[in-house]
Chain A
Amino acid sequence: MPDGPAFSPVRVFVPAGQLGAGVRADEVVTAIERGFDVIALDAGSTDSGAAYLAAGVSKNSRDAVKADLRLLMTAQARSRAPLLVGTAGQAGADPNVDWTLEIVAEVAREEGLTPRVAALYSELAAETLKAKNAAGKVRSLPPLGALDDATIDSCAHIVALMGVEPYIAALEAGADILIGGRSTDTAVLASYPIWRGAHAGAAWHAGKTGECGAQCTANVNLGSGVILAIDRSGFEVEPLHPATRCTVQSVSAHMLYENSNPFRLTEPGGVLDVTAARYEQVSEVRVRVEGSVWEPRPYTMKLEGASAGRYQTVMIVGIADPQVLANLDLFHDRMHHVLTRRIERTMGARAGAFDVSLRIYGWNAVTGGPVPKEAAPPREVGVMCVITAESQNLADQMAKACNPYFFHMPLSDGVELPSYGFPFSPAEIPRGQVFEFRLNHVVELDDPLELVRTRWIDLATATEGADA
C-alpha cells in the first residue's frame, strides 16, 4: 500500500443495483459533475434462480441492458474513468459474458466509441473441477456435503466467483471497460479502490454497502445510484438523487441484506468484519464509516453450478364454487388422486417418473402447510397444476390427458359435472425445464488468477477495420 499524506479518496460511481435495472441519465450527469474515478456495478445474482446459469441466458431484457450500457459507455468515454461490470448477463457463465460483449460492441459501433475491453471469464470445465476435487482442494459449505463427480457432471454450467484480483490485473493492463463473469458483487466495487491503495476493510465494506445502488439510502424508491468515496481509513457514501439521503440507519442496515451473517462476509482471499464499524452522519445526505476490518485468509473461490432437469407443464383454473371452497383440502386430495390415476391409466409405463403437484392459491399454495380447521373459506381460489415429466412432450401429453378432469372433477360422485374457470385455451402451458443449483462449495487456490481467463477486445481496431 503506497504511503503519503496526499491520498485523495477514490470515488466509485455505482449507477444502479444491477445493469439493466434502469440507469438514470440525470444521475449520470450529476455523477460527472461531482466527479468519480471509476464506474462499477454488477449485472446479476443467484437470487432469481438457477435458470440463468443452467441455460446461460440473461434475466434482463437485451434492450434494457443496452440502454444502460449506452449511458455508461458514453460516460466512460467522456470521463476516461474505467467501467467495471461484474456477473455479466445475470449468471456470469461464458455465454452470459459473450451476450453482454456483443451488446458492448454494438453500442460502441453506434456511438463511435473506441474502448479497450477486457472480458474476464470464470466458467470451469467439469474436468477442471473434478481434478481440484480429487486433489482435496474443494470444501463443502453447509447444508451440502462432500462433492462427487456425478454432481459435477449434472451441472450445465459451473462458475467460480471472482474476487478483486482479475479486475486489478486488467486495470493494470489498461482496460477501459471490464466485462466480468461471475464475481462477488462486493469485489466489483472494491477492486478499483484496492488497486489504488485505499483501506482494504473500507473498500470491501463500501462495496457491500453500494452493491444494490440506492438500496442503502433512506428512500429506496427514489433514485438508482450512489457515490462511494474510499480513503485510507474509511469510506463515505451519498446518493445521487437530490430528494433522498443516506442515514446511519440506512447504511448500517444494508449489511443485513440477503446476507446470512450481518457482521462477517466471506470473500475471495479474506473476511470482511464490520463488528467494530462506526457510522457517522457527516452531512445531511452523507454517511462516513470507519473501523471495518479486512482479515486476509487463504485464497478461496465460491462455486456455483446449475443443472437442467425434468420438464414441466402447467394448467390453471379459477374456482368460485362455494361447495368446493368449503372443502378445499378434500378437493385437493381427490383431484391429486384422480389426475395421477388418469396419467397411469392412459400412459402406463411410457409415463416414466412423473409428478403431479397441485397448488391452491388463496388457500395454502405459498406455505404448503396445513390450514387451521377453523379457517373461513376464501371467496375464490386459483388452482395451479404442475406436471413434471422426463420430456416436455411427455409433460404436455399428461396435461392434455388430465385436462377434462382438472376442468370438470366434482367434489363428490353422482352430481352434474361442474366446469371450472380456465383462463386460457389451450389450457396447458409448456413451462420448460426445472433448473436447480447443485453446488455450495469453495475451491482453494494458491493463485487467484488460476481459474480466470482474460480476453482482450480492442474496439478501436475493430471500428477502424469496419470503417476501412
Chain B
Amino acid sequence: MPRLRDVCRNVRSKVAGPFWITVDAFFDGAESYRAHHAKLQPAALAPLLQTEAAMIEVYPVEPLCMVKISYPRAAPQGGMVERDMHSGQQYVRLLDLELD
C-alpha cells in the first residue's frame, strides 16, 4: 500500500496568511497523480490535520500533477506556544498517509 511519500517528488507546506496553512503535494508523474490524487479527501485528511473535514479545501491541479490542501491553523500564527511560525514543517504529518 503506497504512502504519500512514495508517490510524490515533493511535498511542502507554508502559511497562507496568519490563519491558514497550505500543503502542496507534487506527485512524481501523471500516472501517480491519476492513480492516487482522488484519495486526498477532507475526510481522510482531517485526523492528520487535526481540524474538521468541512474546513479543509482540496484543489487538484492536473496540469502540474499536484494537489493543494488548505486548512485553518489550530491557533493563529505567532501565539504563546508557537512551534512552527511559517508552518514549513506541517507537511510532514501527511507523508505516511496510506493511499489505498
**A residues with CB within 8 A of B:** 46-51, 141-144, 249, 252-253, 256-263, 304, 309-310, 312, 355, 357, 359, 365-368, 386, 388, 434-438, 440
Question: Which of B11-19, B27-35, B36-44 binds A?
Answer: B11-19
Known A258-B14, A262-B68, A366-B83; further 11 A-B contacts with Cβ < 8 A: A47-B14, A141-B19, A258-B16, A259-B22, A260-B20, A260-B70, A312-B80, A368-B83, A434-B79, A435-B78, A437-B76
B72 x A262 contact (CB < 8 A)? no
CA distance A103 to B63 in the complex (A): 45
Min C-beta distance of A411 to chain B, whole Å: 24
B86 proximity list for chain A (CB < 8 A):
47-48
CA distance A256 to B61 in the complex (A): 10
CA distance A437 to B85 in the complex (A): 12
A357 x B85 contact (CB < 8 A)? no
Min C-beta distance of B4 to chain A, whole Å: 17
CA distance A263 to B66 in the complex (A): 13
Whether B81 is near chain A, meaning CB under 8 Å from some CB there, is: yes
Task: Point out the residue from A49, A256, A355 that lies within 8 Å of B85, measured CB to CB.
Answer: A49
Min C-beta distance of B58 to chain A, whole Å: 11
Q: Mark B47-89, 1 if CB is under 8 A from A, else 0.
A: 0000000010101010110101010110011111101111001
A366 x B89 contact (CB < 8 A)? yes
Count class of interface residues, chain B: 20 to 34
**B residues with CB within 8 A of A:** 14-20, 22, 24, 55, 57, 59, 61, 63-64, 66, 68, 70, 72-73, 76-81, 83-86, 89, 92-93
Min C-beta distance of B89 to chain A, whole Å: 5
Min C-beta distance of B17 to chain A, whole Å: 6
B18 x A46 contact (CB < 8 A)? yes
A355 proximity list for chain B (CB < 8 A):
80-81
CA distance A143 to B55 in the complex (A): 8
Q: Which of B18, B24, B83 has the most chain A CB atoms closer than 10 A to its own CB?
A: B18
Task: Point out the residue from A49, A261, A304 that lies within 8 Å of B70, measured CB to CB.
Answer: A261
B20 x A51 contact (CB < 8 A)? no
Identity of the chain B residue whose Cβ is nearest the Cβ of A261 in the assembled complex: B59
Identity of the chain B residue whose Cβ is nearest the Cβ of A369 in the assembled complex: B93
